[in-house]
């Protein structure tokens, strides 16, 4: 079902939502950064966190992105199978990205692979990246938007292992990723770990993992315990914000998992930076909407 007025209203709302989500960090991320600032005892770390907060405040006051790299736009959608306006969602999101590139503005980051040409409006082949999950019996539309910056994408990796490699392969994958290239991602990081049966499902799970709200944990007690131990261990590396030596290199480690094959398993590690621009908006079937995670925000 399509309706030009509903499509236009949705596009305008999403353009404004993109502006909010790249300007203001969600409340849970902001609170975590505050907490980490208090837990640091070195002067340079406090200066760095204060610079982060000054930057975030200026972004709010000026209505400008909180990082110059506004990344490539990603959308993770949970769509109720009975949501009546599904047909327009993909094209409207693309148009919202196009408009937001000019109005926010967003940095023009989309480059065509084989022509090495910047498309100029942050759209292109399969970009914006849209991941769909259909919710049987549902009537609503839930959209997580995420700005995937270059530096925070750089450390990501995915690899398959033999079962005999054991849990040590998970731990080594996480530590190697953060220790090798984590500083490129502007720590403190949210580390997403995907545990699957091959590299592509592990990679997708690692992304969904870091999109989870901070403070949530894996549903299995052993998964939750591994998250806690990995976060504690990574923070003992002494890397700190921006790699300038401190008590915390991560805001959290989140694991998402699927069943694995008897003969193989896969681990993917994905990092999100301190400017963790993950926004959530929910639409009802009458197209009324609500923001989650931005107290007091208006579009």
Distance (Å, whole) CA 275 – CA 152: 9
* Nearest approach, Cβ of residue 149 and ligand SF4 (Å): 2
Distance (Å, whole) CA 26 – CA 22: 10
Distance (Å, whole) CA 136 – CA 115: 41
Only one of the segments 10-18, 86-94, 103-111, 267-275 lies at the binding site for ligand SF4 (rule: CB under 6 A); that segment is 267-275
Write out the two tokens for 279: 């926004």
Confirm or reject binding of residue 186 to ligand SF4 (CB under 6 A): yes
Nearer to ligand SF4 by Cβ, of 188 and 196: the residue is 188
Which of 84, 151, 213, 223 contacts ligand SF4 by CB under 6 A? 151
Residue in this structure with the two tokens 């694995």, named with its chain if needed = 260
Compute the Cα dihedral for 165, 171, 175, 181 and give only its sign: positive
Contact 112, 124 (CB under 8 A): yes
Distance (Å, whole) CA 123 – CA 93: 10
* CA-wise closest residue to 270 among 166, 199, 165: 199
Nearer to ligand SF4 by Cβ, of 170 and 185: the residue is 185
Which of 15, 28, 69, 142 contacts ligand SF4 by CB under 6 A? 69
Confirm or reject binding of residue 185 to ligand SF4 (CB under 6 A): yes
Distance (Å, whole) CA 81 – CA 258: 23
Nearer to ligand SF4 by Cβ, of 185 and 226: the residue is 185
* Nearest approach, Cβ of residue 276 and ligand SF4 (Å): 8
Nearer to ligand SF4 by Cβ, of 195 and 275: the residue is 275
Which of 195, 250, 273, 291 contacts ligand SF4 by CB under 6 A? 273
Confirm or reject binding of residue 243 to ligand SF4 (CB under 6 A): no
Size of the site for ligand SF4 (CB under 6 A): 12
Only one of the segments 65-73, 98-106, 192-200, 213-221 lies at the binding site for ligand SF4 (rule: CB under 6 A); that segment is 65-73
Confirm or reject binding of residue 29 to ligand SF4 (CB under 6 A): no
Q: Cis omega (within 30 of 0) on the bond before 45?
A: no
- For residue 267, the cross-strand partners are 159, 195
Confirm or reject binding of residue 33 to ligand SF4 (CB under 6 A): no
The CB density around residue 93, as the number of other CB atoms within 10 Å, is: 23
Binding site for ligand SF4 (CB under 6 A): 67, 69, 71, 149-152, 185-186, 273-275
């Amino acid at each position: 079902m399509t309706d030009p007025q509903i499509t236009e209203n949705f596009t305008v709302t999403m353009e404004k939502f993109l502006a909010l989500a790249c300007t203001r960090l969600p409340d849970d991320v902001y609170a975590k950064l505050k907490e980490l600032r208090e837990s640091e005892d070195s002067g340079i770390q406090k200066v760095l966190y204060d610079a982060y907060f000054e930057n975030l405040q200026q972004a709010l006051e000026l209505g400008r992105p909180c990082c110059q790299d506004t990344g490539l736009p990603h959308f993770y959608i949970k769509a109720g199978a009975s949501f009546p306006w599904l047909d327009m969602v993909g094209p409207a999101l693309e148009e919202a990205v196009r408009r937001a590139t000019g109005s926010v503005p967003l940095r023009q980051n989309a480059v065509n692979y084989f022509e090495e040409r910047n498309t100029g409006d942050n759209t292109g082949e399969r970009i914006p990246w849209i991941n769909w999950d259909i919710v049987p019996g549902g009537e609503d539309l839930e959209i997580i938007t995420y700005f995937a910056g270059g530096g925070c994408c750089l450390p990501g990796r995915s690899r398959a292992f033999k079962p005999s490699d054991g849990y040590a392969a998970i731990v080594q994958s996480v530590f190697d990723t953060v220790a090798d290239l984590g500083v490129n991602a502007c720590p403190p990081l949210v580390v997403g770990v995907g545990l699957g049966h091959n590299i592509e499902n592990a990679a997708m799970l690692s992304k969904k993992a870091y999109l989870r709200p901070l403070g949530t944990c894996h549903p299995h007690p052993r998964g939750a315990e591994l998250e806690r131990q990995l976060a504690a261990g990574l923070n003992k590396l002494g890397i700190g914000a921006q790699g300038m030596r401190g008590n915390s290199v991560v805001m959290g480690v989140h694991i998402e998992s699927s069943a694995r094959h008897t003969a193989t398993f896969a681990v993917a590690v994905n990092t999100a930076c301190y400017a963790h621009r993950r926004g959530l908006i929910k639409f009802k079937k009458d197209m009324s909407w609500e923001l989650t995670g931005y107290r007091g925000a208006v579009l």
